[in-house]
Amino acid sequence: MNIDWSAFLLVFAAALIAAVVVVGFYALGLRMLARSGRVPVVAPASFTDAITVLSPKRLAKAEKAAAKAAAKNPLSEGQKRLSLITAYACFVVCGLAVLAGILLIVLG
């Protein structure tokens, strides 16, 4: 058996860089989304196992806190809009990185 270590290291480096890019841009996108005043509040799914699920009362409280935080945002409307556009651009970069990875697998 002959292992091509240079190819192994190339794949390892590409996977590491892709993971850092996707996670980094997703985190930055979420941060910009929150900065623009659009804090994502996601309703929990119902699970039958031992996973804690927020009650409707706690979910309403979280939505109220998110709305209150958005109302106290000290940014101007232009800054909020720029943050929102940046957030969407970060999510597009994440999607393109994932799409490029899928295309490399399918076409490679």
Cβ neighbours for 63, distance < 8 A, ≥ 6 positions apart? 41
- Structure confidence at residue 40 (pLDDT): 77
- Structure confidence at residue 67 (pLDDT): 79
| This prediction's pTM | 0.69
Least confident of 18-22, 57-61, 99-103: 57-61
How do residues 43-87 score in pLDDT, each as one tens digit? 666 655 556 667 788 888 888 887 787 677 788 889 999 999 999
CA distances from 65 to 24, 38, 48, 60, 92 (A): 26, 12, 28, 9, 28
Domain ranges of the chain: 5-67+74-107
Question: Tokens 């800054």, residue?
Answer: 79
